[in-house]
Structure 1
């Protein structure tokens, strides 16, 4: 007799599928139930039978060799529509089972009692059944029938518990993988920040992908101008996986395989042997240990110029979270490469700006020299030229920093480098950055002090020294920057008798903020400059 229509009910089959139990290994909990069933019902056979659209599969069995049968051999399929136990005293006499191959042939079963495995939402997945090879006209005793119902409910409870544990484990795995992905993105951010070349960027990203996703290969490939070839840079591979670095002709791996990627679309293939895009081109893919793949386009100025490549050596599903992770990495590669290109362009511009500025300074110096060549006292002319040179060196410091805030130590070293014996300077201070305006001001102040020390102070003899020290100090709600210039071992110095440009420059202090004190001791000049740090970092 044909199985009842309910056997093929879509909702019932979907409920069975959600338990993810079919074709799983034996488990002690279910094995114990069938053993109890045989003892209580006094039968040689007991089965936990789950009925699908084309077979019945046994999660647990005693006294029955096969792990499944087709539906034509299933008595359990008829138990699906029973409100309570299905008890058949003689299978050979019942029209539903008299032609069943298991009744008419080996193992010649004759008695059946089955408890429907009914879930909380009313779906019947199969039955817990007790089977005998001889008829039992009296069926089951009341106690046996009650025990079979209880054991059937225990099978359903065991299935629910099994699913709950699997869901918990899946959630823990998802949480762990999410944490791995977060840490991977953080690590890529750290590596890309320190990358000095686009090659460094791609190598850092592919290494993190390979380690976090546990794939066979992670690589970065650049398309040629025609889009017919891709050049794969040195790739990350798992142990035992060959490198795919080098030039590859795209058509060899699938007709129009990467057309979507060239349009900016992600390519995801779970199994190259079954996907229509690659099923006819499996040989070259499998030769490179590629069974599953993801290609993520990298776009520059609206055009796909490269792609992030991820390969696995086995069929693999790529959940949305993983694809989002790879998209984020591709975006970071794109931003890192853009940053490096912008920095390279900025260096070219800075070099050109430095060249033009030096030419301008040289022109101003030449004009001044020609204009003032007949002035009897050439000392002011030389001072003017030296100050132009100090400004030029300050601009060099800023240009080396891409016109970003400059370090005080770099400013000091640039200011004293023109002095022949820089070893006579003792320099000490914290790691402090100053804005462009303060950088120019400090350079001029140090130039003025160094020039005076060479002419009149500690650097005018062979034994004098200069100490330059700076620090950040608290001041109310903010902080101040303090710099000290102290000369020792030079001749006795006296305050200047007239106030020239240099004296006025020193009194203006750092960036014109005041806060300057210059004193003249027998041991040498001492100057202190104090200014709000926030003002100097603008």
Structure 2
């Protein structure tokens, strides 16, 4: 109920309610002692009404009442609240005239009270929580007499005495019940815990053991026991003196009189069998110690568990020190936050600069993220959820912001009240940077990429290239099923693939299929479909390349029918000659043709197995180099007759005579391959004739196709060679990637951290490949390989990275291994060494010596010595264990080129010395 702002009942309300609660009196049945008090008050004060009123939170409740029907009223109707505000008897002669009570409904309405007198009920601690009062329906200007006031005060004290007695009796009952319960619990606990009891009578020197104690010490039921011969004799020698001293200290009357000791009990053969925890109390009478009584308990399992817990805590402490996660423990009740050392190592916050409160953490969240994070974590803490995770930006000590993933779990009490929250904050800055680079690669890729929900075929993401291939906007693709881009005639194959994906099958396929663009045009796509498990979900990605033009070329080649088919199958110039001759004969209808041939293997412009019977061959044309005029005309694509060729000044006399006598007509077209003369296509007619334009064009077309086929045969052979080379390179790369992944994922405990390490190592491998591919040969410069591996750590500060050494070309195998080694060294430097602080420096020097002076490397010849040196970083502490990164540094060049590596962890900086034979570094394979 509402109360006036100056309501005296609100003064120290918490103390009043607490004092009232200690008496446990509210809403209890009537009791004679209190009823007698109000009856006596009515008689003494000659008043019709008397009450014992107790002031609760929003009501006044009457423990005893006489002449008043209600058992309680609202606190706003209470006059006793004014009495409780003081320590003297309060008398109000006319309630209707007093400003405190004139508006009280008990005054203005029924029962129409007009007079009040009350004595406060005050606890021994001085807290007033009610009153003994009398009321009348008529005013009493004279109030009460002094005797009546004194009597009312005495009755109030009597009421308080009754309340104290009542509370004391209740407390004694509770204590007695608690004592009985404790005794029962102790007896049950002793039995349940398997504890034994001992009783050492100091007067007689008798030691008594129960059955359980005898069993723990290996003593039979009828066997006598004594302190020295039985108890001390069966203790482990290392524990005997210490335990005896503890017993003697407990027997000292001037001491605490308590025996508390843990010791080991030996078996008869002297082996340690049991850890015993003993507790006892000295019984003293008249300052004289009489007995030491106590219990013994087998704590062997507990000791083992404690040792295991201690080991676990030590491992946790070491893990907390080693991890890059900032681990926090937030006491939600006290608002106290503990951080591990990673808060300084990863974010630069020194312990003395950290205020251990939740507010300090919130203040360092980016302003744009703060409200969202605070609302989210408040929702989890205030609800019934246990786990929380959020990504946001956290301010480092230097003022920059780190992208972090924060995870925490709420610890709740039995009633669900949150008490603590424990979590870890992981720095995602580098991962997000790599992810952004990967996104940029995807966005700029020259193939279409779409991520698909395998259950619904709905596109989740699509890059710009796919939008260009399908002639659609991103909004037309993302959020819609990709089935709509497949023509109906291909639906069966699409549905078959969908069923496999929806069933959770891991699919890796390359297929060629048709798509219908947004404008309705059908195109062909080459699709690389890959599904993989990410967390608890399967993600499917399709990479699509537009091969419509390739398909068109294939169609045009197929459309050449006989010529195209047979020329594609031809594998030698002699075979081409027969194909061309047959097609020319059939097409031109030269049933009497003396010659129709494609001679791709000689420079002779005429002559061959197609010459008419009896016709002399054109001699003297072994090489066109001797006939520049004829060669030049042929290369210009001119049509030459026999007489034109015979007119060349370099022609032999017998050939000239033959040409002058010839009556045949001749078409001769050169075959040009890569700008060089490769042969001819020529047609002879037995009778003189004029060649039509269509016939000449057809011969030229045949010549062009034969020439193109010759070029294609050579190109295909070169392509086959390149494919074999590419396959070899790809197998080597995949083998190295597989080894990196296998070693990185070994003994995985933190998925997020291992993903970062794996991505970083594969990126380093990719950069090394970029350097190899950017060169003209099959290798790369040593300096380019090292600079590429260190590029991510080059912040532009002068002198931070120095590379020095002579020019050396390294082969692919050595370049990849060396790039990965430098990447691991640089990563360690960024975490713990020179790159982790401003001003740190790294030098990488290399030199070539004539031979292996140390004689530890395989083979002979010049040796390359490379040295990685760090300076200016924090003091170096040698690692306690070696992971894959350390093994990669040590063995990177060993298996690849027969090198060796030695790493020194000096306090001033890490030094890594790499030695390898120059021949091994130069190897192409």
Range into which the TM-score falls when normalised by the shorter chain: 0.3 to 0.5
Bigger relative contact order, structure 1 or 2 (CA pairs below 8 A, ≥6 apart):
1
Q: TM-score, normalised by structure 1?
A: 0.35
Higher gyration radius (CA): 2
